[in-house]
A and B are shown apart, each in its own frame.
Chain A
């Protein structure tokens, strides 16, 4: 199964799309790639699209919280979209939704970040 991911830049927003299973085994590589993408381009905001994520545990929370802190330092906003009910439950119980804004889908989320499609 594993995890695959793609990074796209739309204006000053880094769009991160994940697909598959995000666990401790996959977290390390994702973290490395994500950090590189974040700091080698003029990025302000991050939009994380969780639509194709079929599994996530606390290792995923750690990676997301880590990048959230980095985006705050850049003076930007971290937005997450297309979260499944099960992963939503995990976000909820960890208090993640209190600090990270959630949008229904990528298009809406991009609009709120000022990106015209």
Chain B
């Protein structure tokens, strides 16, 4: 099955739950396992929250783009913001690193994202924005074969 979906949302925290529910509904057509569904929802929440907090400093009038593709059981997810960008991507990926400890951030976002997705690529430039490209193989294909 081939399918795609594109979503553009304002950078407000109300949209964190909306974004993860929307992406969850989109991948549900492939009958992912409950674990896979929760993992994808968690990842969407992490990345969108990062755009809101770090990319846009919690200013509400900016745009976050979410683009999803399904192709043969592979799920492709790209989340983009046009915010302040990441200076040192290596450091940002380190577990426990956060540039905002005063906000009680734990610095575990990227660690969770990398654990729950098969691949994670970060593209970012200071002053221009950040785009995170992730893929995950969903097990639904296997399950279908078993059921038939």
Interface residues of A (CB under 8 A from B): 1-2, 21, 23-25, 27, 31, 55, 57-59, 61-63, 65-66, 86, 89-90, 93-94
Contacts and interface: CB of A to CB of B under 8 A. Distances in A.
Nearest to B35: A86
Contacts of A86: 35, 38-39, 42
Interface of B: 13-14, 16-17, 20, 35, 38-39, 41-42, 45-46, 49, 52-53, 95, 103-106, 108-109, 111-112, 115
B49 A61 contact: no
Nearest to B14: A25
A62 B53 contact: no
A31 B103 CA distance: 11
A117 B103 CA distance: 37
Q: Which of A2, A58, A63 has the most CB of B within 10 A?
A: A58
Contacts of A24: 13, 16, 45, 49, 52-53
Contacts of B112: 57-58, 90, 93-94
A23 B112 CA distance: 14
A25 B17 contact: yes
Contacts of A90: 42, 108, 112
Nearest to B113: A58
A61 B52 contact: no
Nearest to B41: A55
Nearest to A21: B17
Q: Is the interface of A mostly helix, strand, loop or mixed?
A: helix
A1 B17 contact: yes
B55 to A, nearest CB: 13
A90 B95 CA distance: 13
B140 to A, nearest CB: 18
A31 B104 contact: yes
Contact of A66 (B42, B104, B109): B104
17 contacts: A1-B17, A21-B17, A23-B49, A24-B49, A24-B52, A27-B104, A31-B104, A55-B20, A55-B42, A57-B109, A58-B106, A58-B109, A58-B112, A59-B105, A62-B103, A62-B106, A63-B104
Contacts of A31: 104
Contacts of B20: 55
A57 B45 contact: yes
Contacts of B17: 1-2, 21, 23, 25
Given A24-B16, A25-B14, A86-B35, A59 B111 contact: no
